[in-house]
Amino acid sequence: MAVFDASGRAAAQGYGATHISASLGSVTATSTFVVDPLALHGTGPLRVHPTNRRYMTNDGGRAIYLTGSHTWTNFIDSGLTDPPPAFDYGVFLSWLRSRNHNFFRLYVWEQARWTAETTRDYWFSPHAFQRTGPGEALDAKPRFDLTKLDQAYFDRLRQRVILAGEQGLYVAVMLFDGWSIADKSQGEGNPWPGHPFHARNNINGINGDPRGTGQGKVVHTLGIRAITAIQDAYVRKVIDTVNDLDNITYEISNESDGSAEAVRWQYRMITLIQDYERSKPKRHPVGMTALYPDGNDGDLYRSAADWISPHAGGNISDPEPAKGRKVIIYDTDHLCGNCGDAPWAWKSFMRGLNPILMDAYDGTAIGLGASSRNARDPIWESIRRSMGQTLAFARRINLAVMTPRGDLCSSGYMLANVTNSNAEYLAYLPSGGRLRVDLAPSTGVLWVEWFSVTSGVTIAGGTIAGGVTRTFVSPFSDGEAVLYIHR
């Protein structure tokens, strides 16, 4: 648990969290209190909110907004040495919680050695399949037996999900990775020679490249029945391992390609999970993320997935408002790679999206989309801070009844519930300054509050009368600001 003050900042870390303040004449009342992250929303598995399909919910009934950082080595250790350096998962979880994040992707890599983005040797461990031999694989280790899943891999999976839940964190359990079967035309290395389904790497006669292309693209299609059967068994094992846990969702694959065959494969995997979980105690949402290369976001929207991460043209400067067709996890991984800024997080939140950041973290994951920015660039921390701040507001407002209403304010970034008896308006000013807000739908007395994104300072602004369009001026000189108007 973490302690927060009434400005919405973690008392020890200075990041947004649950917020309470009230203006009593000329006095602003504040208090310090303790927050149990999961208790904020009750328990039970995530599911799509029944009336506001931009968000998840659970047995607690409130809308659950998801946001946070993810990095490439948080499940499979990887690096330039064999064995690769162990990722300090406990430190990573504490790091996320200190920034008031509540969601991350748990990355998988299917190959044992080599990667698309460097010509250097690069190792991965652990693996889903046992390396029993006989015979030597291309990485000079025993070949895989694809009929034998490695229990240690699934033990690690279960432990990491449980530990995340204890920190109030939801986890996207990634099942496959499109960057493990092909070089993605990077002009660097090729992961395929290190994949268990390469003909030289298993004892089962499985050949994931029957045409000798030097790539394993057919592995993420339904083209070889024997491979599909092995994948089915692996997916069922993952479900058996974590089904009883509440804090998970499934992600089919990270950026498998956009071919019709690969799309059909993902659709089938979605159905497999949904059908198999019907025989289990709990059901969890399933996600389908951006297709690369040659992806079409329409394939994501047409799927049976509960949530999606579109490419959306790489638009981070002015995200399109979510229409509520799917929960959208708005991931910089698929928008623009190692990119983003603090305004991106706030703009995404105000447009009904759930922003997450592909994070360079400690900068050690070279060759895996390693950042063109230095991992210590202050811009990373500004994005992390802003995501935590948006989560604090998401937990405070009645998000279930709020929708993107940029038409009601001059900045174009607003979540609002204009129902007169429970009116709430939350607006973002990217540069501070003046803001016009149409309060015509909400008559009577409304409370006003300002929040500085840069400093984390909250100022109570007293009360106003609604029913008309009003102009507000930010009291902060340090740029980005948030205006909260409520009944």
Sketch out the chain's domains with CATH numbers: 1-35 (no CATH), 40-399 (3.20.20.80), 405-487 (2.60.40)
DSSP 218: G
> In angstroms, rounded to a whole number, what is the distance separating the alpha carbons of residues 56 and 211?
43
> In angstroms, rounded to a whole number, what is the distance separating the alpha carbons of residues 201 and 146?
10
- Contact between 472 and 448 (Cβ < 8 Å): yes
> In angstroms, rounded to a whole number, what is the distance separating the alpha carbons of residues 215 and 193?
8
> In angstroms, rounded to a whole number, what is the distance separating the alpha carbons of residues 366 and 374?
12
Q: Which amino acid is at 378?
A: P
Burial (CB count within 10 angstroms: exposed 0-12, middle 13-18, buried 19+), residue 11? middle
Give whole-number Cα distances, 376 to 371, 382, 443, in Å: 11, 11, 48
Element holding 426 (H helix, E strand): strand 424-429
Residue 115 has what pLDDT? 95
Residue 349 has what pLDDT? 98
- Contact between 475 and 450 (Cβ < 8 Å): yes
**Cis, peptide link before residue 310, omega less than 30° from 0:** no
- Max intra-chain CA distance, the chain: 80
Nearest to 58 by CA among 43, 69, 68, 71: 43
Name 187's Cβ contacts closer than 8 Å, sequence gap at least 6: none
Residue 364 has what pLDDT? 85
- Contact between 243 and 280 (Cβ < 8 Å): yes
Nearest to 170 by CA among 89, 239, 102: 102
Strands 47-48 and 327-331: unpaired
Residue 19 has what pLDDT? 34
- Contact between 69 and 96 (Cβ < 8 Å): yes
Output the CA torsion sign for 166, 170, 174, 175: positive
Tokens of 367: 């060759």
CA angle 303, 322, 383 (to 5 degrees): 110
List the pLDDT tens digit at each of the 487 positions of the chain. Answer: 232 222 333 322 333 333 323 222 222 222 222 344 554 445 899 999 999 999 999 999 999 999 999 999 999 999 999 999 999 999 999 999 999 999 999 999 999 999 998 899 999 999 999 999 999 999 999 999 999 999 999 999 999 999 999 999 999 999 999 999 999 998 889 999 999 999 999 999 999 999 999 999 999 999 999 999 999 999 999 999 999 999 999 999 999 999 999 999 999 999 999 999 999 999 999 999 999 999 999 999 999 999 999 997 667 889 999 999 999 999 999 998 878 899 999 999 999 999 999 998 988 886 555 555 678 889 999 999 999 999 999 999 999 999 999 999 999 999 999 999 999 999 999 999 999 999 999 999 999 999 999 999 999 999 999 999 999 999 999 999 999 999 9
> In angstroms, rounded to a whole number, what is the distance separating the alpha carbons of residues 392 and 8?
7
Nearest to 354 by CA among 304, 291, 310, 401: 310
Tokens of 148: 């034998």
- Contact between 76 and 107 (Cβ < 8 Å): yes
Output the CA torsion sign for 360, 363, 368, 373: positive
Tokens of 43: 């328990």
Residue 312 has what pLDDT? 76
Residue 11 has what pLDDT? 29
Nearest to 241 by CA among 158, 175, 153, 126: 158
CA Rg value for the chain = 23
Burial (CB count within 10 angstroms: exposed 0-12, middle 13-18, buried 19+), residue 244? exposed
- What's the pTM value of the predicted model, to 2 decimals? 0.92
Name 423's Cβ contacts closer than 8 Å, sequence gap at least 6: 416, 417, 439, 441, 442, 446, 466, 485, 486, 487
Tokens of 302: 């047409």
Name 37's Cβ contacts closer than 8 Å, sequence gap at least 6: 1, 2, 97, 102, 167, 168, 169
Give whole-number Cα distances, 191 to 33, 108, 215, 227, 376, in Å: 49, 13, 8, 18, 28
